Amino acid sequence: MHLLRRSILLSPAVFFTISADNVGPTYPAPTDLTSDDSLVRKAWDELSSSFDTYLEKKPNGSPLAGTEHVTFSSGLFSLHDPAAAPQLQYHYTAPEIANSTNGTNHVDGDSIYGMASVSKLFTVFTGLLELTDAQWNTPLSDIIPGLAEYANQTLEGSGLAYDTRWNEVTPWALANQMAGVARQGLPATDTLISGFGPGVDPVADLGLPPVPLSSLGPCIDLTCTEGDYVESVSGQPPIFLPWTSPAYANNGFILLGIAISKLTGKPISKIYPEAVFEPLGMSSTFAGSPKKDADIAKSVVLPYFNNTYELAWPSGGLYSTINDFAKFGTALLNSTLLPADLTRKWMKPSSHTASLTYAVGAPWEIMRYIHPDTGKVTDIYTKSGDSGMYGGYLVLIPEYNAGFSLLDGSSNLTARSTVQYVIADYVANAMVPALEAQAAAEAKRKYAGTYVSEDPKLNSSLTIAINGATIPGTPANALSITRWVSNGTDVLAGLSLRLLQSIPSGSAEGVGSGKVAFQATDNPQFASYTASGADSLGVIGPFTGQQTNYDWLVIDATHYGGYGFNLFVFDVDTDGRALRVRPAVTRATLKREA
């Protein structure tokens, strides 16, 4: 009888008893990141101490080796705790900047860095604000004159036919890194090759035939005109056919900037401030390097600080601070400039990569953090920058309505490029578990307790607790329904359910302000079918392993009177504390006992 009740209440019977949660938050997003009691504050202080210890003692074998050569600023921000942005920051000024005769000698949250390819995120966001769906999906051959004639060409001297298919490449394909265009629009060195590093002679070292400069067309560096650039790159062979495979391409975002400018009739340098920087109060963010003395005085000035290559600004030519990054990040999470439904649509993967933990969006680099204690997956939406002397990250974690940023600079190119990935990992490995733990702690305070019917004639009650789940593999801090009595009937009969937030408070399309919706589940969570060890059928594979990610398939599968058995809607106060709960199928409202 108990098993029958269980199968009716939760989901159709499956072969395995292990499964995965839906993508998204387990708990409502944490709201306290900065108080003395916050687990996030504690984790940030411990992270800062780790950086301090290395920079003071420089122990051999540390993963942070080389950090002492890199000037960097990093900070956490949150939609629900504005104090996080100014308080949870870490800054280090390397000797070359501390002793510099130009710019700042001590970095803080207002120090201006080159952001390198993080610029691509601003370019796409600007396009989302300025372009229509029809414009996003217009072929480049219709937007940029001259591209159509290069749709079918034969590479000179090779005898190989190639098809650039500019009539199939659209701005949206470029934004999603799925256009297949050549990565580099122009050579990075005077040796006519890109990506081989300094000092490489292609003729002497690689045995290649001499190639005259004239073969590159009228543009051999980024100081040329837009028209000359397009003429010079339009005949390059593609990497893939459009929408075949993701491929990172600086050239693609230069072309995207040109397309946005042509479609709007405005120079891209004017669109950035008008559409994004000024509305969000980002007064220390610039297209191209800052020009005013007061701004330069706040800048991390390195030999390649001055960026005059306007064509490349959409790909990697913007400058900013971590304080401005916090404004931008919270604006994205809050859908300040872009409608909420379009923000949610935008912040999704457009393609897999060959890695199970790395997907691609427009132009998101989506990392999948796997919680070591539970196997739960948290999606981290990022855009990285790593070019020459500057780099960094802007990171959004929608599950927690929070994120973090990193900006760095150094003339030691090898150290800077390597160190920034290590620093970002340190921050992620400290902050993601802390945000999850803080969300769980707040959920206990705000939701745990007993809820009873206000009608004395109705014997209905619900008990919610932390650490109460009886589901194998469930995290110790799961928010769980441990007892549910409906009209005198013990619905769970000794079982328990976990509650997973499905629609947050205040969602315009959801349950409305002051209400939070949850879905109940009895499924544990695993990152993959291999992690689950699901071999009860004598085989582990992608199809039997599908059962280890079953929640998405059976959610809301059992209805009574038009309501799902798994739906629970809470009334919450302005602090997010639950006051009442309504198990949807019972039509009864249960009040929380003090």
Number of continuous H segments (helices) and E segments (strands) in the chain: 19, 24
pLDDT bucket at 550, cuts 50 / 70 / 90 = low
Look over the chain and give the mean of its residue pLDDT values, rounded to a whole number: 85
Provide Rg for the chain, Cα atoms.
Answer: 27
Q: Could you tell me which residues come within 8 angstroms of residue 61 by beta carbon, excluding any fewer than 6 positions away? A: none
The mean-pLDDT minimum among 11-25, 63-77, 255-269, 517-531 falls in 11-25
For the residues of 126-137, what is the DSSP string, one character each?
HHHHH--HHHHT
Tokens of 142: 């219709």
Judge whether residue 537 has pLDDT over 70: no
Give the number of other CB atoms < 10 A from CB of residue 15.
10
Which of 236, 326, 219, 335 has its CA nearest to residue 281? 326
What are the residue boundaries of the structural domains of the chain, listed by start?
2-29+441-592, 113-186+221-411
- C-beta of residue 180 within 8 angstroms of C-beta of residue 247: yes
Q: What is the pLDDT of residues 32-90, one digit of tens each?
A: 999 999 999 999 999 999 999 999 999 999 999 999 999 999 999 999 999 989 999 99
Query: Stretch 502-507: mean pLDDT, rounded?
Result: 73
Per the model's pLDDT, the better-predicted residue between 12 and 156 turns out to be 156
The Cα–Cα gap between 591 and 453 comes to 6
Query: Stretch 374-388: mean pLDDT, rounded?
Result: 90
Q: Which residues of 495-525 are buried (b: 16+ CB within 10 A; e: fewer)?
A: bbbbbbbbbbbeeeeebeeebbbbbbbbbbb
Strand order in the sheet with 71-78: 89-92, 71-78, 402-409, 390-397, 377-387, 365-370, 358-360, 351-352
How many alpha carbons lie under 13 Å from residue 223 in its C-beta half-sphere? 2
Q: What is the pLDDT of residue 153?
A: 53
Q: Is 538 helix (H, G, I), strand (E, B) or coil?
A: coil
Q: What is the pLDDT of residues 408-448, one digit of tens each?
A: 999 999 899 999 999 999 999 999 999 999 999 999 999 99
Judge whether residue 21 has pLDDT over 70: no
Name the percent of the chain lying above pLDDT 90: 59
Q: What is the pLDDT of residue 432?
A: 96
pLDDT bucket at 571, cuts 50 / 70 / 90 = very high
Q: What is the pLDDT of residue 532?
A: 61
Burial class of residue 184 (count of CB atoms within 10 Å of its CB; 0-12, 13-18, 19+):
middle
Judge whether residue 368 has pLDDT over 70: yes
Tokens of 348: 């999704």
Q: What is the pLDDT of residue 277?
A: 98
pLDDT bucket at 126, cuts 50 / 70 / 90 = very high
pLDDT bucket at 535, cuts 50 / 70 / 90 = low
CATH annotation of 113-186+221-411: 3.40.710.10
| Count of residues making up the chain | 594
Q: What is the pLDDT of residue 389?
A: 94
